Amino acid sequence: MLKCPYHGCKFKSKTLMRLIRHVRVRHPLNGKCPACGREFKEVMCHIAHEVRDNADEDHAVYYGLYSKSKGGSQSKVLSWARDVAMSVLEVDDGFVEFGRVRCRRDERV
């Protein structure tokens, strides 16, 4: 399961697409960056900048959830950001995922 990254929100979803729909409806970007709390006129530009230039994982989570870019040079960044979002927001106990490394259930300690 993937959990909503917003503090105090109990929403969980099996799929990233559903979580993306949830955050866009329930938590629209309102001029404040959800990752670092700073205020910007164009929050999405700031988030995209942090992701593209600094590969910042906190911002990548939100980039993966809010970015509407399709194809082109953005798609590589976006799919990385979505991988980050999925590994950061994964809450299914019994199954752990760190980036591209998957730990099998039977390897649990």
Per-residue binding letters, 54-83, with Zn ion (x by CB under 5 A)? ------------------------------
Which three-class secondary structure state does DSSP give residue 11? coil
Indicate if the alpha-carbon torsion angle 12, 13, 16, 20 is positive or negative: negative
- Work out how close the CB of 3 gets to Zn ion at its nearest, in angstroms, rounded to a whole number: 8
Provide the mask over 6-45, with x wherever binding to Zn ion is found by CB under 5 A and - wherever it is not.
x--x-x--------------x------x-xx---------
Kindly state the smallest distance separating residue 29's Cβ from Zn ion, in Å. 11
Cβ 33 to Zn ion shortest distance, Å: 3
Check binding of 4 to Zn ion (CB under 5 A): yes
Rounded Cα gap, residues 6 and 28, in angstroms: 11
103 Cβ partners below 8 Å, 6+ apart?
95, 96, 97
**CB of 56 closer than 8 Å to CB of 48:** no
Q: Where on the chain is the footprint of Zn ion (CB under 5 A)? A: 4, 6, 9, 11, 26, 33, 35-36
